[in-house]
Structure 1
Amino acid sequence: MTTWSFLTDFAIAGGLLLAGKLLRVYLPILQRLYLPAAVLAGLLGLTLGPYGVNVLPWSEVYGGNASMLTAMLFSALGLATPLPSPQMVARRAGSLWAFNQIATVSQWLFAAAVGLALSHFIWPELSHGFGLVMSAGFMGGHGTSVVVGDIFAGLGWQDALTLSLSFATAGIFISIIVGMIILQVALKKGWVTEFTQFEQMTRTEQRGLIAPPEQKPIMNNTMSSLSVDSFAIHGALILAVTASAYHLATYLSSFHDKVQLPTFVVGFLLGMIARVVAKRSGAQAYLCDNVFSHAGGVTTDFLIVFGVSAIKITVLLNYLAPMAILLVCGVCFTLFLVFWVAPRMLGEQWFEKAIFSWGWLTGTVAMGIALLRIIDPKMRGKVLDDFAIAYVPGSIVDIIVISLMPIAMVSGLYLEAFGIGLGYMALVLLLWRTVLSKQ
């Protein structure tokens, strides 16, 4: 593979992304589904790629670009993530943090339990970690799907990547289609008073564009162009953190055959360390968080294009029946979290937080925002602010679960995994009942 092959892969992905956006702009049926352009681009890549009609000149290793982009995504997230104080988390977003922790850990445990049941009683040829491809795709999205797929591949199960990416793609459709049904139920129940129908949106909003008067700059120009372009420094930081994370993870994983430290974990931690160093040295005043956030968005879009395009249809067909069962179980369990757990934990305006969480738990944070905007078009509420505050401490647990659950399932450490998971959930509930719910 040459450097030009690498460039060609990204050029193809870019072309597909442009085509996906054009389809989103001009086809009303796609607008009504609120489908991201990256998902449409990935489906085009899948149709035209080697597992479809095979007319795109992808390189032989184009699917591996998703792993690299995942490491870049988490490195950028680390650089963009300020650490809130425990007092701020408790005061502003304590109940939402507790709900997110219960929802996250319980979805992983539920998926693992369903997968174990299917592999023990119906399809003994299934991997004991089969259920985790659902939670990786639903809650984690395409980025986590790549991580979990790579971990399973290292443990000898190569098909996991295709399955988890398929769940992530299906989750996008499920989040918005079922989410719209949930919103209709909420309107009849009186849980929401405002509901922005598709027809009530401006033509620009329907197309997923921002009208020129409402467009805002995405970064502060923090450095003089006489010395260096501001964006070049931000890009250099992301690349340096990502490359350092790859080499450090490789080095630390070399000490034991069964201990593989995921690059995305190291990237996230190194990004946060770099941010702390920049803050203490005064360099943070010359860095713009919006650039790091948008860099994460860019890598996510291209990651989705590569990930969906690399889904192996033949592998997918071999797992169709157990996947269908797992999918239905996953949707039902997430509905239980939204309709039963959320109103008991989230207090006032529980539904706004719950509908956002539905989009996040089945699709992506972007899908949660899309659903939230339907009932709060001017974004007057504080759901996103509270989620951002609750995300940082919650992300540490996410990373631990993502990294260790596949290893535990494949290694037969079922009781240990469920025991630790249930114990952590009990601790969160105790903290919520005694402290957080009273803030």
Structure 2
Amino acid sequence: MTEWVMLTDFALAGVLLLAGKVLRVYCPPMQRIYMPAAVLAGIFGLALGPSGTDILPWSQGFASNAGMLTAALFAALGLATDIPSPKSIAQRAGSLWAFNQVATVSQWLFAAMLGLFLATFIWPGLNPGFGLVLSAGFMGGHGTSVVVGNIFGDLGWSDALTLGLTFATAGIFVSITVGMLILQLALKLGLIRNFTCFDKMDDYQRKGLIAPGKQQAVMKETLSALSVDSFAIHVALIAVVTAFAYHSANYLSSFSDQLQIPNFVTAFIGGMLVRSITRYTGGSRYLCDNVFNHAGATTTDFLIVFGISAIQITILANYLLPMLVLLVGGILFTLFLVLWVAPRMLGGDWFEKGIFSWGWLTGTVAMGIALLRIIDPKMNGTVLDDYAIAYVPGSITDVFIISLMPVAMVYGYYAEAVAVASVYLLVVLAVWRFLLCRSAGKLAVE
């Protein structure tokens, strides 16, 4: 792929993203369902791409751009991630960490076992790892779907990429539509007092815009332009870590044909390593985390456009019925996690954390934030801060699950996967019950 071919792909994605945002601004039905512009752009790309009318001049390998963007996304996340102390995790976000771990591992385990059941007793032609495309799309979103799809592709099942991207797209719709029903039910049951429905939003909020008087700067100037622009240094760090992720993952994977190291793993580790070096040397004083966060959000938007556009409709036709069964099962199980498990683990303010968790367990963190803003428009609560603290140790578990679970299912290590996941869940529950709950109680007394 030449540089101009890649530029054309990104330019087309940019045009679609602009078109999606314009439609989001001027189409009230899209506003009412809180449709992200990137999803609209991806749907345009799907309709006008190879699986549709084939009008857009995508390059032959345009779908591979999603893999590169995934590595860049995790590089940006690593560069913006501090490792919290065990004390802050235990006292501030211990219960949320425990719930996140239970929800994450159990959703992957449930999806794996449901998919294995379908592949064994109902549709024998299915890949034994079929269920994992649900959790990859639901909890992981388009980025994780690309990672898992590529892992399965290396293991001989190329259809997994399209299936995972489809579940990730469906998850965004499920996140908002079912999330709104949960909020309306909570209002009737008295679990929440305020509900910022669509009719009460101002025109800017409906259109997904920020009023001119409330707009804020994206970054702070940390370096003198006489030497180098601040933004250039931030982009350079992301580019270096992304390139490191690609080459190091390839090198580590060369030692074994059966175990392939995904580049998102080395990207996240590389990002945190660079961040630790900058903190040790004092260079972190001249970096702006907001830039890394926005870089991650930007790559996510483009990743969604490429991911949805790359879905192959002909493949979906072969999996339609088992996908519907898997989708319904995933929705019901996630509702169980949010409406039954969350109240018992998260304490008195469980609903705010629960509705946010519903968003990221079915769609993305952005969907969780969107639902949270409906009941907390000014974001006065501490849900996002607590989630940020709980995210880092939890992300380590995500790395192992995403990397190893597909391999375990393809090679037949079903019992081992269930045993390891079950033991881990029991350990997390024991830590939550006997350590974290007591730490929270002591903090409340103090």
- For the residue of structure 1 that corresponds to 2:57, the secondary structure is coil
Opposite residue 110 of structure 1, the aligned amino acid is: F
What is aligned with 2:325?
A: 325
What is aligned with 1:34?
A: 34
What is aligned with 1:100?
A: 100
Matches within 5 A, 1:82-93: 82-93=82-93
What is aligned with 1:53?
A: 53
- For the residue of structure 1 that corresponds to 2:259, the secondary structure is coil
Structure 1 position 337, deviation (Å): 0.4
Q: Distance in 2 between matches of 1:319 and 1:175?
A: 22
- Report if the CA contact (8 A) 2:259-2:407 is conserved: no
Percent identity between the aligned chains? 67
What is aligned with 1:268?
A: 268
Runs of 4+ in 1 over 3 A off after TM superposition: none
Structure 1 position 94, deviation (Å): 0.4
Opposite residue 224 of structure 2, the aligned amino acid is: S
Q: Distance in 2 between matches of 1:252 and 1:123?
A: 36
Q: Distance in 1 between matches of 2:167 and 2:344?
A: 29
Q: Distance in 2 between matches of 1:351 and 1:36?
A: 24
Q: Distance in 1 between matches of 2:394 and 2:233?
A: 29
Structure 1, residues 120-156: CA drift from partner, whole Å, max 9, x if none? 0011110000000000000000000000000000000
Opposite residue 177 of structure 2, the aligned amino acid is: I
Q: Distance in 1 between matches of 2:109 and 2:382?
A: 30
Gaps of 5+ in 1: none
Opposite residue 407 of structure 1, the aligned amino acid is: V
Opposite residue 116 of structure 2, the aligned amino acid is: L
Structure 1 position 161, deviation (Å): 0.2
1:300 aligns with 2:300: yes
Paired residue total: 439
Opposite residue 20 of structure 1, the aligned amino acid is: G
- Report if the CA contact (8 A) 2:79-2:275 is conserved: yes
- Report if the CA contact (8 A) 2:20-2:38 is conserved: yes
- Report if the CA contact (8 A) 2:24-2:37 is conserved: yes
What is aligned with 2:19?
A: 19
Q: Distance in 1 between matches of 2:15 and 2:383?
A: 35
- For the residue of structure 2 that corresponds to 1:336, the secondary structure is helix
Structure 1 position 36, deviation (Å): 0.8
Q: Distance in 2 between matches of 1:252 and 1:197?
A: 50
- For the residue of structure 2 that corresponds to 1:319, the secondary structure is helix
Structure 1, residues 375-419: CA drift from partner, whole Å, max 9, x if none? 111111100110011001101101110110000000100011110
Q: Distance in 2 between matches of 1:74 and 1:335?
A: 28
- For the residue of structure 1 that corresponds to 2:192, the secondary structure is coil
- Report if the CA contact (8 A) 2:134-2:167 is conserved: yes
Opposite residue 368 of structure 1, the aligned amino acid is: G
Structure 1 position 423, deviation (Å): 0.4
What is aligned with 2:251?
A: 251
Structure 1, residues 72-101: CA drift from partner, whole Å, max 9, x if none? 000110000011101001111000000000
Q: Distance in 1 between matches of 2:81 and 2:280?
A: 15
Matches within 5 A, 1:2-13: 2-13=2-13
Opposite residue 433 of structure 1, the aligned amino acid is: R
Q: Distance in 2 between matches of 1:372 and 1:214?
A: 20
Gaps of 5+ in 2: 441-446
Structure 1 position 220, deviation (Å): 1.1
Q: Distance in 1 between matches of 2:33 and 2:393?
A: 32
- The TM-score with structure 1 as length reference comes to 1.00
Q: Distance in 1 between matches of 2:286 and 2:220?
A: 9
Q: Distance in 2 between matches of 1:404 and 1:35?
A: 33
- For the residue of structure 2 that corresponds to 1:435, the secondary structure is helix
1:148 aligns with 2:151: no
1:237 aligns with 2:245: no
Matches within 5 A, 1:131-146: 131-146=131-146
Structure 1, residues 160-195: CA drift from partner, whole Å, max 9, x if none? 000000000000000000000000110011100111
What is aligned with 2:358?
A: 358
What is aligned with 1:175?
A: 175
Q: Distance in 2 between matches of 1:372 and 1:245?
A: 34
Q: Distance in 2 between matches of 1:2 and 1:231?
A: 26
> Please, what is the CA RMSD of the aligned residues?
0.5
Q: Distance in 2 between matches of 1:257 and 1:429?
A: 36
